């Protein structure tokens, strides 16, 4: 079964500390993976896609097919990074994206 | 492009009333999705359309929910009759699949409260 697991509901770090939001997926194949961010009472926004290998707002995510993980990382967290983060999976050739339950990141001053 | 536009932003209604949520996708996007977000269940896909045709409505919770896409620039999600447990934020999203998924563009959502 296709599944996206974000084991942490809440992650609290101090400003300037490294942050890693975990995402594990279950899919027998090569899915497309995404991270979305939702700031307080705003729309969900696409943060990054694994196919682009990009860094957005200092965040990066590496796809580890062996561990079926797609963890989101940032070396130095900022207060404005406080938000809800969703990991999402889209099967190749299909289009029905599955979202994880989300992790709320709280960056303390 | 103004992005995905949803209306209304907020809706408060009484149980039993009909509620209609509206969405205008990004021009040129051929996929449209309706999601529901609650604290308890997170983001749930309700239904999605491709080229105005409903492809998968398995996430629609009950017959009280219906969705239409009469043309490429407009979709509605209707709840009739509404119930308090329908209270949630309803998001519309659109995308274009050009051989692979490039991710969704979400609207601002409609916050529905049914009392």
Q: Which residue ranges of chain A lie beneath pLDDT 70?
A: 93-94
Residue of A34, A37, A23 lying closest to A107 (CA atoms): A37
Q: pLDDT for B88-112, tens place per residue?
A: 999 999 988 765 667 889 999 999 9
Q: pLDDT for B19-75, tens place per residue?
A: 999 999 999 998 999 999 998 888 999 999 999 999 999 999 889 999 999 999 999
- Asked if B34 and A94 count as a contact pair (C-beta separation under 8 A), the reply is no
Probe site for chain A from B103, B105, B110, B111 (most A CB atoms < 10 A):
B103
Q: Given an 8 Å threshold on Cβ–Cβ distance, is B106 in contact with A43? A: yes
Residues from chain B contacting residue A29 (CB–CB below 8 Å): none
Q: Measured between CB atoms, does A25 come within 8 Å of chain B? A: no
Q: Can you say how many angstroms the Cα of residue A31 is from the centroid of all Cα atoms in its chain?
A: 15
């Amino acid at each position: 079964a296709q599944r996206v697991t974000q084991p942490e509901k809440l992650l609290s770090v101090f400003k300037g500390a490294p942050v890693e939001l975990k995402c594990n997926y279950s899919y027998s194949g090569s899915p497309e993976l995404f991270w979305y961010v939702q700031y307080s009472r705003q729309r969900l926004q696409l943060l990054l896609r694994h196919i682009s290998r990009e860094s957005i707002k200092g965040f990066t995510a590496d796809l580890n097919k062996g561990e079926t993980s797609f963890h989101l990382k940032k070396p130095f967290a900022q207060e404005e990074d406080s938000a809800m983060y969703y990991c999402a999976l889209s099967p190749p050739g299909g289009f029905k994206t599955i979202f994880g339950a989300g992790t709320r990141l709280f960056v303390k001053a | 492009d103004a992005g995905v536009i949803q209306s209304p932003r907020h809706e408060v209604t009484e149980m039993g009333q009909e509620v209609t949520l509206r969405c205008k996708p990004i021009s040129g996007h051929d996929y449209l999705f309706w999601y529901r977000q609650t604290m308890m269940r997170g983001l749930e896909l309700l239904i999605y359309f491709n080229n105005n045709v409903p492809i998968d409505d398995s996430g629609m919770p009950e017959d009280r929910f219906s969705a239409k896409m009469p043309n490429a620039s407009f979709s509605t999600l209707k709840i009739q009759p509404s119930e308090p447990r329908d209270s949630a934020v309803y998001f519309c999203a659109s995308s274009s699949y050009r051989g692979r998924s490039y991710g969704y563009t979400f609207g601002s959502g409609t916050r529905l409260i049914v009392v």
